[in-house]
Structure formats: structure tokens, C-alpha cells
Amino acid sequence: MYRDLKPENIMIGDDGYLKLIDYGFAKVVTKRTYTICGTPEYIAPEILLNKGHSKPVDWWTFGILIYEMHAGHAPFMDDDPMNIYKKIINTKPRYPEGFDSKLKSLVKHLLRRDLSKRYGNLVNGVSDIKNHRFFASVNYPELLAKRMQPPYLPTVSPVSSTESDFLAARAGAA
């Protein structure tokens, strides 16, 4: 389980493909774990209810991430983390006007409190997500082979000799 999916933990590589960083909360789990961790707006309800959790928490956070990327804010927000937790457990997300209908369908399937109904945790596993109509145009073999043109390619300047020396010295000290 990754357990900390959020915009701050996604970087764009120089090839335009996304990379996850910060594996501090990641954990190999065969059954369940009871560690309460994560960013308040992204924590799955089963973590908050402390009944034990496993891989489905990552599908919940994926739903939160997609919602935030489209709406510009997380679905459960408050200045007080305890109020965020109450909203996660007790309320359903409100979708802003203009929220893409296909994306809304996907997010609703990912933000199911009932694990037996959450996409990614059903009999078909990740296929339910990959085959959702929102992703209909994605060619997964091409994506995995990095043969698809990324929508954004960052401009990367060459590393100067001073930066290179610093990085080399730092790597040697580690």
C-alpha cells in the first residue's frame, strides 16, 4: 500500500510521465494494518474507523486526487482535521457545477465507504477502473511502454558543473 497519494507526492519526469515520490507511509501488507497515517483530506474512512485497512485505501485516495485535480480542491475540507474526518465518515462529496459526468461516475465508484462496492476492490480489481468509460481512450500497453505523447513535457535545463559537483559530493556522503 502506498497510503499517501496526493498532488505533493507526484512529480513530472523529464519525459513527461508521472512518478510517485515519498514512500514514507508505504507498507507491504498481506491482510490488514491498523496504523493511522496519511494526509487528513485524503484519509480513507476505514483508516479513521480503525477497523483495519489494506489496499483499498489507495483507491479511495485516487478518487480524492481525481476530484481535487478536476475541482481545484478536495471534497472534504475544513480548518480542523477532526471536522474533515467527520465529513469523510458522514457526508458524500458535493460536485461543483460543470464537473465532468464521466469523471464524476468514476470518482463516485472510488469514494465508496462500503469496501464491497469500491472500484479497485471488486472481483475485477483494477480492471474496473481501467475499463471505466472515463479512460476509454487510454491505450494501456502504449502508456506503460511510454510511447504515448505526454500532455506536458517540462523544459529541463542541463545541470551545471557546480550543481553536478554538489550532487556527487552529497551522494558520496550518503
pLDDT in tens, the chain (174 residues): 777 888 999 999 999 999 998 887 777 888 887 777 778 899 999 988 888 877 888 999 999 999 999 999 999 999 999 999 999 999 999 999 999 999 999 999 999 999 899 999 999 999 999 999 999 999 999 999 999 999 888 888 876 667 667 777 777 765
Non-local (6+) Cβ contacts of 118 within 8 A are: 56, 59, 60, 109, 110, 111, 112
pLDDT score of 72: 93
Measure the CA angle with vertex 98, ends 97 and 102; round to 5°.
Answer: 120
What cell numbers appear for 46 in the block?
Answer: 476505514
Q: Which of 4, 22, 80, 114 is an active site residue?
A: 4
Task: Specify whether 100 is catalytic.
Answer: no
